[in-house]
Structure 1
Amino acid sequence: MAACADQEERLDLHAAGALDAAETVRLLEHLASCPGCREAFEATREVLSLAALPPPSATERTLQEALPRRTLAAWHREQTRQSLRWRTLGSVAAVAAVAAVMVLGPWRSTRWTAETPDAAPPRAAAVEDGVATETRQTLADFEEWAGLEPLEATDVAASEDDAMLDDLDAWDDDFEQGEML
């Protein structure tokens, strides 16, 4: 005997245990009255029992229970490795930037003039006052670069600047000795 055409799908779902409670009640009532559907239901259940897996052993259950923890631990290890890679890359980039600043920082730009484009900036020939000569030359180079009128060496402001620098040096000495004002 064959199963009823409108009940075949519900029979398969019930044999697999996937039918909801209300449908199960109606199907069981139908199975009590229809021998063809009972026969089809038993055949389906027998076929599904052959495909069913055996119950898991104690070792398999332990491994299945530990699976979320192992998966989380593996994910955490991967995240840690990835963050270490990024930190290392950032550190290498920072070291490269510092090295570039240290190497390129001391370079001085050369002054470009129309007469001698490859000439180096002129240096003071005589070292009269040591740093003062270099400072005057640097100031003259800056004024020339900025297009300003050069200051005269006998300018009153220059002597005032020297006096202020002397005062500043005295303050630095006092500070280094621990004296506070």
Structure 2
Amino acid sequence: GSVVGQIAKIKGCRVVGSCGSDEKVNYLTQELGFDYAFNYKTSNIRKELHVALPEGIDVYFENVGGAHLDAAVGQMRPLGRIPVCGMISAYNNKGARSEGVTTLSNMIYNRVTMKGFVVYEFDGIRAQFLADMRAWMAAGLMKYQETIFDGIENAPAAFIGLLQGENTGKMLVKLGDDDV
């Protein structure tokens, strides 16, 4: 989400982010330049989206599911788009089922498009994306954080921490001493 938000900012969009701690809210707004961010654990998602985007949402990048998706669908503007790349809220659920979306009728009325998003579908533009990303990194426009666990024996703890939102940025497991 933080990478998508930064790309959207580079492209001139107003960006709103949701995260699970006040520390992460500060990171999104102060470090990454998001226009607005909120802690979904201590806030009402629907209310926060309405405050941040009173005119509605044009594009909602879906990687959480559940209450986030439900709130976003209810705020979508006419002809809005929802690329879906993940639903982390459902990964621990039996059968990987997400909570139901109660606002689906809004998709009909506003002619909203929701489409699955997988990286390999865009292999034809991968070289251009990598060139853009390198340029943004060199210009200091793209920032990142990593949470690193050392050793394969800590992989289960890293995975559980990822699902529980204990990481900031990418969750990684370092397998050796070599710098890569």
Question: TM-score interval w.r.t. the shorter chain?
Answer: under 0.3
Larger Rg: 1
Higher strand share: 2
Using CA pairs below 8 Å that are at least 6 residues apart, which structure has the higher relative contact order? 2
TM-score under structure 2 length normalisation: 0.17
